[in-house]
Structure 1
């Protein structure tokens, strides 16, 4: 069923910038190109145990300094390796320094062996979700301007912490979620949902959306208050179209048709483009040809 235009949030477009360490200039150059191309967002994946990656938060600070308009988010922050109060302070600090250009993508923590190798906790799936819920409470309270923060949970605590600085704008918490408990948590508490096409193919999205929407309604929240961000991996090609193993290949019109369908029929409202190769020319072509085409298609009945 198509979502009425009046109920859709503004459609946003973003691009992935990998935190690759082999050429430190490359992420900065790519971020500047993404901004110049007119994208709204830049996502940076957070895998601290990857020896070939720069630290995501340090990199975002540099990228924010190198740009002026585009917004950033970790895609998604690895909570077990990012203590929530320190994470809240880091996000608020970058938001203040960048003039309100940070959102928080947050995950319960995948790749358990890598997390443990870096000194993080080993948690079951249920424990990871419960810890994430505690962390969300702590982070939001840290940003709220409370004078003294007291909290005692099973996984995290605060004993008179003094929050500050307050963020420059109301930061959204966007969850990377796939399983039922995480989807329900997204519906109850999150400001956004970030699935990736390689883990959740388009045909899987409607059922996931229903779980989020039902949880939101049960919590007294309007489902449309939750932004739906889709990391879409693929390539603009001269052949296709088609999905294969969570990646989409096709010409410009194929991309326009598919993204328009994902908005109208599935309810997604934000797309983060992850080109498989030729990153810079692909991102530039996506911005110059695909984005205007999708906006034009959505402007017509």
Structure 2
């Protein structure tokens, strides 16, 4: 059992549909009203049925006041880390420090290539992601003198000026599943952001995968507790408890609290575009989870 003692956060994972264009925006506004902390959007630039995620994040940040906006996760092969660094800094300043960065190494390579991106092997995509994190952090390091230089295999920066200054520390969460990505997360990331539906053994995968992150963090001289664990979850809201995230709000709350106390996951995104489910997650489930976890921690 592992509980890192992190504050609990709850969010909505909203599909960035292109039509109707304002649907994801209205769901984000609803999420804020329901008391949720975050809104996240998947990123598939090669899919015209979905809106451009960064543009949507910017629009949502302008239409809301409190919720944090998260790329969940951004498709790095089609997004230059230099441009991401500048865009994140601008949006973070404009939104009052409400931006979080989720990065993915890439998965749908036919779509990436069709958009002009470079096809990479799994190993290459992991290396490219680690370089991108270094570029982001280097350009955000405005307390360091001189231009930022980086000479990598995949990305090169030849003395670019750093900045602008972030409104707050923008955390970098990585969508990791394989051993190499998990080790990368432990070495350099602020957070781990997988989806439950992609975990090989569902919730049973969390402890072992999190342990791999911890081992890599320790080997890199980091405190494993410095890495936040987040999770995209989905399920059914019914009147009878009938499995993992399948039942009434109390059943959901008990299961989420158990996941936090046993695996250290402290951030949960509900994968739903149904207003009533988002409201229940923010107004019923999240407060109850906080109560359960606080009581367990107190003992």
Question: C-alpha separation between the residues in 2 aligned to 1:2 and 1:140?
Answer: 29
Match status 1:149 vs 2:156:
no
Contact 1:174 1:194 in 2 (8 A): yes
TM-score, normalised relative to structure 1: 0.95
Q: Partner of 2:99: helix, strand, or coil? A: coil
Q: CA deviation at 1:239?
A: 2.7
Contact 1:235 1:282 in 2 (8 A): no
Contact 1:241 1:254 in 2 (8 A): no
CA RMSD of aligned residues (A): 1.1
CA displacement 1:60-96 (0-9 Å, x = unmatched): 1100000001001100010110011011111111101
Structure 1 residue aligned with 2:135: 138
Question: C-alpha separation between the residues in 2 aligned to 1:84 and 1:237?
Answer: 43
1:92-111 paired onto structure 2 within 5 Å: 92-111=89-108
Correspondence for 1:78 among 70, 75, 78: 75
Structure 2 residue aligned with 1:209: 210
TM-score, normalised relative to structure 2: 0.95
Match status 1:285 vs 2:280:
yes
Correspondence for 2:124 among 127, 137, 146: 127
Structure 2 residue aligned with 1:56: 53
Question: C-alpha separation between the residues in 2 aligned to 1:165 and 1:19?
Answer: 28
1:1-301 paired onto structure 2 within 5 Å: 1-3=1-3, 7-145=4-142, 146=144, 147-200=146-199, 201-243=202-244, 248-275=245-272, 279-301=274-296
Q: CA deviation at 1:293?
A: 1.1
Q: Partner of 1:299: helix, strand, or coil? A: helix
Contact 1:178 1:195 in 2 (8 A): yes
Q: Partner of 2:165: helix, strand, or coil? A: coil
Contact 2:11 2:37 in 1 (8 A): yes
Contact 2:141 2:163 in 1 (8 A): no
Question: C-alpha separation between the residues in 2 aligned to 1:25 and 1:128?
Answer: 33
Q: CA deviation at 1:215?
A: 0.4
Higher RCO (C-alpha 8 Å, min separation 6): 2
Q: Partner of 1:52: helix, strand, or coil? A: coil
Question: C-alpha separation between the residues in 2 aligned to 1:132 and 1:25?
Answer: 32
Q: Partner of 1:242: helix, strand, or coil? A: coil
**After the TM superposition, which segments of 4 or more aligned residues of structure 1 sit over 2 Å from their partners?**
none
Contact 1:241 1:251 in 2 (8 A): no
Q: CA deviation at 1:2?
A: 4.6
Question: C-alpha separation between the residues in 1 aligned to 2:131 and 2:63?
Answer: 34
Q: Partner of 2:235: helix, strand, or coil? A: strand
Question: C-alpha separation between the residues in 1 aligned to 2:99 and 2:192?
Answer: 16
